[in-house]
Amino acid sequence: MPVQLHATSSARPRWQQELADAIRDPAELLSLLELDPALLPAAQAAAAQFPLRVPRGFVARMRPGDPHDPLLRQVLPLADELRPAQDYLVDPVGDLEAMRAGGVLHKYHGRVLLVITGACAIHCRYCFRRHFPYAEANAAAGGFAAALDYIRARPDISEVILSGGDPLVLNDRRLSELARQLAAIPHLRRLRIHSRLPIVLPSRIDADLLDWLTGTRLQPVLVVHANHPRELSDEVAAAAARLRERGVTLLNQAVLLAGVNDDAEVLVELSERLFALGILPYYLHALDRVQGASHFNSDQALRSLLPKLRARLPGYLVPRAVREEPGRASKTPLPY
């Protein structure tokens, strides 16, 4: 592990510098990867609707010169996004319907999801929250007071999920304060984090984060989000090892994406590589039908992929294939 060289307390943690240094300009991304500048006008047009954002460490895992690189495809804005598609909605999973007190999403028994920020370290083009009105629905407003009151008043809630956006873009001072207040609610057992940062910005898993995440009586669960085995670099492996050393349960959710991972070989390798890092595959989500993402749809492939995965992998490395449907009591398991 690299030694932390910042001696002064005013220095920002390394992850915050990397976050601030993320690539936001499509022209810079294309030039770094030696890609055809002809891709630029479309990238700029689509980025005007949902900006480009990608950490440099993630770009370093892409293949230069390959416009079809599966990691690039997740972040490069394309003209396809601007094409209207039937049945693709602004809020495909009914989040606004399920929104309770400020930033609290309560859809399922026993667990609530807190939207605590709208920001992410990376902008995934297929994201189902790309149109979400974060300014109106954010549990962090008012020091989480409304969300904490909501949870305190409901003894059947045993697990709180921190989500967003990406909850780990908040600083450790705020997150540790939130963890402390949650731990003081007697009926809570688990603290779950849904974050892509351990994958796209693994330096986020530093000593301060480990301290608050494992420093309360709540059992910590971290659900990361990787879609392709090449996302799991040595730095990601080291971050996963730090988390496991401290007893954090690690799970992965992936989204089935055309041109990224709609291929049995890729999904088998993803499961294998995840397990080598101590991360269990949890969900494989069918794409949510959000406006601007129709070119990622791969529902047809799901049908044939799942039997192939089951034929190739031990049962515990086959992710649960699900779709999120508004109004259901859980994610809907797919019948393949």
Ligand X SMILES: *Cc1c(COP(=O)(O)O)cnc(C)c1O
Instruction: Report the residue from 72, 127, 161, 240 that binds ligand SF4 according to the rule CB under 6 A.
Output: 127
Does 244 participate in binding ligand X (rule CB under 6 A)? Answer: no
Phi, psi dihedral angles at 162 (to 5 degrees):
-90, 125
Residue 113, contacted partner among ligand X, ligand SF4, none, CB below 5-8 A by kind: ligand X
**Would you give the distance in Å from CA 254 to the centre of its chain?**
9
Does 166 participate in binding ligand SF4 (rule CB under 6 A)? Answer: yes
Residue 107, contacted partner among ligand X, ligand SF4, none, CB below 5-8 A by kind: ligand X
Residue 114, contacted partner among ligand SF4, ligand X, none, CB below 5-8 A by kind: none
* DSSP type of residue 298: -
Give residues 210-269 in contact with ligand SF4 (rule: CB under 6 A): 225
Does 123 participate in binding ligand SF4 (rule CB under 6 A)? Answer: yes
Rounded to 5, what percent of the chain is helix, strand, coil?
40, 15, 45
Q: Tokens 């494992």 sit at which residue?
A: 214
Say whether 57 sits in a helix, a strand or coil: helix
Both tokens assigned to 34: 């030696």
Give residues 56-115 in contact with ligand SF4 (rule: CB under 6 A): none
Q: How far is CA 305 from CA 130, 144, 263, 309, in A?
A: 27, 42, 7, 6
Q: How far is CA 14 from CA 28, 129, 144, 260, in A?
A: 22, 27, 26, 30
Interface region with ligand SF4, contact rule CB under 6 A, candidates 64-72, 158-166, 207-215, 289-297? 158-166
Phi, psi dihedral angles at 265 (to 5 degrees):
-55, -45
Query: With contacts defined by CB under 6 A, how many residues of the chain interact with ligand X?
Result: 9
Element at 114 (helix H, strand E): strand 111-115
Beta strands 280-285 and 320-323: pairing type? parallel
Question: Binding marks (x or -) toward ligand X, 274..313, rule CB under 6 A?
Answer: ----------------------------------------
Question: Binding marks (x or -) toward ligand X, 97..116, rule CB under 6 A?
Answer: -x------x-xx--x-x---
Using CB under 6 A, list all residues that contact ligand X. 98, 105, 107-108, 111, 113, 161, 330-331
Using CB under 6 A, list all residues that contact ligand SF4. 120, 122-124, 127, 129, 164-166, 196, 225
